[in-house]
Amino acid sequence: MKENESKSPHILSTSANLLGFCFIVLTSVKISKLSQSTYIDEGAALAVISFMASCLLSFLSMKSTSLHAKKMERFADIMFLFGLIVLLLTTIMITFNIIH
């Protein structure tokens, strides 16, 4: 990949999709009334915040012409990765809660 190619459009679209997925998880947990739902709710809410920050930063990075654009893109990338890890842990909690 070339150095000057931006990852921001990819981060923005994927973060927005996963943001919608997190809202579906939150709704599903509320409807199914799973035990330990507070941990699952908190994990999904943390993932929502992370993906929302990633969306915002990647959007701002695409619109910015300053030197801060690369820093915003990098931070959006970090927030995206953090959201993925939180979503993974939340999904594991849901899986073990359903199996149990």
The rounded Cα 82 to chain-centroid distance in angstroms is 7
For 88, the domain range is 11-23+34-99
- List, for residues 58-90, the tens digit of each pLDDT value: 999 999 888 888 899 999 999 999 999 999 999
Kindly state whether residue 41 falls inside one of the protein's structural domains: yes
Kindly state whether residue 86 falls inside one of the protein's structural domains: yes
Kindly state whether residue 51 falls inside one of the protein's structural domains: yes
Kindly state whether residue 29 falls inside one of the protein's structural domains: no
**Is the Cα dihedral 86, 90, 95, 100 positive or negative?**
positive
Kindly state whether residue 75 falls inside one of the protein's structural domains: yes
- List, for residues 12-44, the tens digit of each pLDDT value: 999 999 999 998 888 887 887 765 567 888 899
pTM over the 0.95 mark: no
| Alpha carbon distance 36, 51 (integer Å) | 23
Kindly state whether residue 62 falls inside one of the protein's structural domains: yes
- For residue 44 the two structure tokens come to 């999904």
What's the number of domains the chain is made of?
1
